[in-house]
Chain A
Amino acid sequence: MRGEYHSSDHYVAPPEPPTSRRPPVATVGPLGWVRANLFSSPINSIATIVMAIILGGLLWLALDWSIRSAQWGVVFNNLRLITSGLYTRSEIWRVELIGALLVMLTGLSLGIWGYVSRGVFLTVAVSLAVILGVLLIGARIGEPTLYMLAEPERTPASLVFLGTQGDEVSFEIEPLTDLEAINARPLGYIENQSRTDWSTRAREARDGTLDLGAYNLHLTAALFRPDGSPVTRDGAPVRIAATPDDAGSTQTVELPRTGWYKLEVVRDDEANDENAGYAWVKVRGVELLPSQSELLAAREVEYGPRPTAARALLAEEAAYRYEGTRTFAEFISLQVAPFLSTIALEAVVGTALFLNGWVIGILGRRERRVRRTTLAAWVLSVPVILLLLGGIEGSRALPAVPSIQWGGLLLTMLLTVVGIAASFPLGVALALGRRSDLPVIKLVCTLFIETIRGVPLITILFMAKLIVPFFWVGLSDLDMTVRMMIGVTLFSAAYLAENVRGGLQIIPHGQIEAARALGMNPLLMTTLIVLPQALRAVIPAIVGQFISLFKDTSLVAVVGLFELVGIVDIIVSGQPIYRPYQREAYIFIALIYFVISYAMSDVSRRLEASGAGSVHARR
């Protein structure tokens, strides 16, 4: 202590407090943010720049790939398979009905218990607007060129396509007489066989084993109607004749009416065995039809039978592969628009149902009856859904659909829901058993839990698939789907038990003493005092386990069920045209998994943050 002070040490501020000022510009606002978060030190600045370059590069690659060359057709042409698997086609309305039911119930529940922010509505509105906008724009962008290779010793293919009145279709023949011409990558849809041949020939030409100069093809291309009459322009039939000396010009024609057309390509020197050389037949303005038999059948009903030809080649997606790079406009019209048009109806109906439920929920949130009905509806929905899906043996209205046919997202969700519903009580029971004072029960539960936790899920599924039928004769008839459900449930229950045990451990001993002091028997004590607190404390861990369960259902694909991963396996291996597009397919299902698990973990984080899960927060 310093000691001696004078009265002049006294300082008194003016009576009025000074007004608050704004902080210096450099430390707040966007500039301050950038400084603090990106360039706070030299090392940070370097890190920011290096990361920005790397990330920018990667993002650019990803965007470039997905816009210019990715083929999302594997996804939007197979949406049925991806969502409901091999479910009987004629009964698909049941799946749709279930979807509608669940969407409405979700909307209702959110209306009653949830808080739907303005952001969610904005997102929904913007998405709908984008869907409609893209569809409108997409329709106005021209089709890319179709390429077919004309070869010696082979009848050229004739293109069969569906044209709309007023469409402009043009075609030309481009002989490939030098290395430059054959090396140039085509830009558009290339017919599959042509693509293989072209790349082989191009390699041979580069190696020098193929002499492109020896070109002597005489080709004629002409456009016909289904009845065999040629399409004319100014009275003359529209045709090109290409000889080695004269490639012929491009022909353009406005289609006179809507219906089938045939572009017939003929080699004039069919008899000549000595012919050599290759040429592209390029067609512009023709729209590819989706390769789905029922759609094709519907078009034949509408426009009459397709024209026939010696080697007819339908302008359908399956027969072509996109090559080269797309423009952004083409990306929208070829990739985004078809996808959106497949889901447009479902999206609109789904949104409407959701909003409907939500409004009812909002209006009735104070009514006890509405809340009770909703809860009852959720509980009731489980048997209803199972009944709808499975059907009734011998019934005409609801013929049975064996569960082995359930697949795609439907099966994934079903495995998850059944797994959650069944493993939760089992897990709680195991956890209580492991904490039991009775050594035998404790030992058995511990043994079960630790054995299951010590082996991979896939071995459990192996057991469910191969060994379970031996346990009981009755079990051998058990559907594989049900067996997998059992496997997944047992596995999940063991992990859940450990989570619940964690919650049981943090219950203060005083709680148990208080319950005993009130004269509760062990059952009452457990159900009224211990479990509610323990479970609430470990909600995040339990939700985490449910997310794991959801992701783990993908493993049933390895033992041969067709949930999301399994169905993609079928699509890419069963439909040869989609084999090159596995990346697109897996990205799409990864996205589905991500959205659902992220939503689940987000909910659990909110629960955690709100303190609803914490024993301590309630003190």
Chain B
Amino acid sequence: MAQPQSTGLKQSAPASVPFWRDIRFIQIFLQVAFLISVIGLGYLLIHNLLVNLERSGLMINFSVLNRPFGAEIAEGQADFDPASTSNLRALLVGLQNTLRVVGIGLVGATVLGVLAGIGQLSTNWLLRTTTNAYTELFRNTPLLVQLYFIYRGLRGTMPDRIADSYQLPGPIYINRRAVNFPLIQTTDTAWIFFGLAALGLVLGIGLWIWRLRVQERTGQPANTLRWFTPAFLLLAALGWIAAGGPFTVENPQLERFNFVGGDRLSAEYITLTIGLILYTAAFIADIVRAGIQAVPHGQIEAARAQGFTSSQTLRLIVLPQALRLIIPPLGNQYLNLAKNSSLGIAIGFFDIYSVANVISNQTGQSVAVFVVMMGIYLSMSLVISAVMNLVNYSMRLRSR
């Protein structure tokens, strides 16, 4: 075969490529151009921002965080004094309120979501239909509407006057403003109880591990709870007696205009928490359902063919496989819940966003407040995704 001239071309090619046709140059050039335009645009915007802020006398000033807050926060802190509290302290109170909502919300949404997800797979038509209707209804309407409905609609059915509060055994009083319930406080000797209870926990876990070993050795069922529970309860009860009652209970008392003593959860807190739980749980339910459904039916048949009971099948075969699919989107839902807690502002709940909004309104320092707020939400998101990534990594599946 004749290959004329080609050798000559090949040899000379590397040297003679003009630089604007060199792929390496193009890539670097593109990036530099992109970088310059991004930096240029960023510089332009920030420059403008600074100039305009200067002009309107609102130069970014983080010292604003030390100024007194000057507004009431009717949430979380009982002895909140607006005059002596700095804006930074107020933000921390807001953050604390946000975390109270998010913490309870995560637990509640997970429990409800898993239950509803399993309910969607039930063989019982009624249960299946109900849980389906629940998820469809809550997934397809905005959280804000749900919050307004609970806060403005359902709350209206509660008694308006404190004196008319519904009383539940406890005593727990429910009215339009809050739920008042007994405050439980520790006594001086409570450490004895906590110490012994902790000891019981350690002992219980020890027994748990021992029973697992026994199961491996003899094959007898582990019955871990049957050993753990009495050990823990016994020591805890001992501690209770030794401490002579580690807790005091302070009941709320109805005075002329309000309740004195006891603990209270504001209507705003309850609304936001319930709203977030119901909304997020609907999404979690769908994730759980999809995760379990994705486990091939053959897996369940194989387990049944080997004589596993249905609870063993679920525990040993289905759940470990389903969890791998469930955890990544579950993490997203946790993130959403944390972010959605900012909707508290719509119903007057003093979370971090509301406090930041108040500060921004009072001082005009919207940029500084915005930066702080972004920082807080981003770190919250980062923590949640870091934890979920860790869990996800530990559960990954090997294949070739």
In the complex they form, whether A and B have CB atoms below 8 Å apart is answered with yes
Question: Which A residues form the contact surface with B (CB < 8 A)?
Answer: 36-38, 40, 44, 47-48, 51-52, 55, 437-441, 444, 451, 453-459, 462-463, 466-467, 469-473, 547, 551-552, 554-555, 557-558, 565, 568, 572, 580, 582-583, 586-587, 589-590, 593-594, 597-598, 601
Known: A40-B123, A441-B34, A594-B140. A554 touches B145 (CB 8 A): yes
**B373 proximal to A (CB < 8 A):** yes
Residue total for B at the interface (Cβ-Cβ under 8 A)? 54
Complex CA gap A116/B127 in Å reads 31
Task: Give which listed residue, B141, B366, B373, contacts A551 with CB less than 8 A.
Answer: B141
Complex CA gap A572/B145 in Å reads 14
Complex A-B: 19 CB contacts under 8 Å: A37-B124, A44-B123, A47-B124, A55-B126, A438-B30, A440-B35, A454-B377, A459-B373, A462-B360, A466-B360, A467-B367, A551-B140, A552-B142, A555-B343, A583-B149, A586-B145, A586-B149, A587-B153, A593-B142
**B83 proximal to A (CB < 8 A):** no
Complex CA gap A458/B340 in Å reads 9
- Over the window 129-146 of chain B, the binary record of Cβ atoms lying under 8 Å from chain A Cβ atoms (1 yes, 0 no) is 010000011011111111
**B80 proximal to A (CB < 8 A):** no
Complex CA gap A37/B382 in Å reads 44
CB–CB B142/A470 < 8 A? no
- Interfacial chain A residues near B130, Cβ < 8 Å: 51, 55
**B27 proximal to A (CB < 8 A):** yes
CB–CB A455/B378 < 8 A? yes
CB–CB B127/A557 < 8 A? no
- Interfacial chain B residues near A467, Cβ < 8 Å: 49, 366-367, 370
CB–CB B353/A586 < 8 A? no
How many whole Å from B60's CB to the nearest CB in chain A? 10
CB–CB A565/B360 < 8 A? no
Complex CA gap A86/B125 in Å reads 46
Complex CA gap A466/B373 in Å reads 14
- Interfacial chain A residues near B48, Cβ < 8 Å: 470-473
Complex CA gap A523/B106 in Å reads 44
For chain B residues 354-371, which have a beta carbon within 8 Å of chain A? 357, 360, 366-367, 370
**B313 proximal to A (CB < 8 A):** no
**Extra inter-chain contacts (8) besides given A38-B126, A597-B141, CB under 8 Å:** A36-B123, A44-B124, A455-B378, A456-B339, A459-B374, A555-B144, A590-B145, A593-B140
**B194 proximal to A (CB < 8 A):** no
Known: A439-B31, A462-B357. A590 touches B149 (CB 8 A): yes
CB–CB A458/B343 < 8 A? yes
How many whole Å from B279's CB to the nearest CB in chain A? 10
- Interfacial chain A residues near B137, Cβ < 8 Å: 594
How many whole Å from A542's CB to the nearest CB in chain B? 16
For chain B residues 228-266, which have a beta carbon within 8 Å of chain A? none
Q: Summarize A's interface: helix, strand, loop or mixed.
A: helix
CB–CB A590/B156 < 8 A? no
CB–CB A455/B374 < 8 A? yes
How many whole Å from B13's CB to the nearest CB in chain A? 18
Known: A454-B382, A458-B343, A593-B141. A586 touches B153 (CB 8 A): yes
- Chain B's closest residue to A556 (CB) is B144
CB–CB B145/A582 < 8 A? no
Known: A470-B48, A473-B52, A582-B153. A51 touches B127 (CB 8 A): yes
Task: Give which listed residue, A40, A51, A472, A593, contacts B145 with CB less than 8 A.
Answer: A593
Complex CA gap A426/B328 in Å reads 25
CB–CB A459/B124 < 8 A? no
CB–CB B156/A582 < 8 A? yes
How many whole Å from B294's CB to the nearest CB in chain A? 14
How many whole Å from B29's CB to the nearest CB in chain A? 10
Complex CA gap A466/B365 in Å reads 10
CB–CB A52/B123 < 8 A? no
**B308 proximal to A (CB < 8 A):** no
- Residue of A454, A583, A589 contacting most chain B CB atoms (<10 Å): A454
- Interfacial chain B residues near A472, Cβ < 8 Å: 45, 48
- Residue of B139, B145, B342, B345 contacting most chain A CB atoms (<10 Å): B145
Task: Give which listed residue, A552, A558, A572, A583, contacts B345 with CB less than 8 A.
Answer: A558
How many whole Å from A578's CB to the nearest CB in chain B? 12
- Interfacial chain B residues near A568, Cβ < 8 Å: 148
How many whole Å from B9's CB to the nearest CB in chain A? 18
Complex CA gap A594/B152 in Å reads 20
The 4 residue pairs across chains A and B that have the minimum distance between CB atoms: A583-B153, A37-B125, A456-B339, A454-B381
- Chain A's closest residue to B39 (CB) is A444
- Residue of B49, B124, B153, B346 contacting most chain A CB atoms (<10 Å): B124
Task: Give which listed residue, B27, B143, B148, contacts A438 with CB less than 8 A.
Answer: B27
**B386 proximal to A (CB < 8 A):** no
- Chain B's closest residue to A462 (CB) is B370
CB–CB B52/A458 < 8 A? no
Task: Give which listed residue, B141, B143, B339, contacts A594 with CB less than 8 A.
Answer: B141
**B214 proximal to A (CB < 8 A):** no
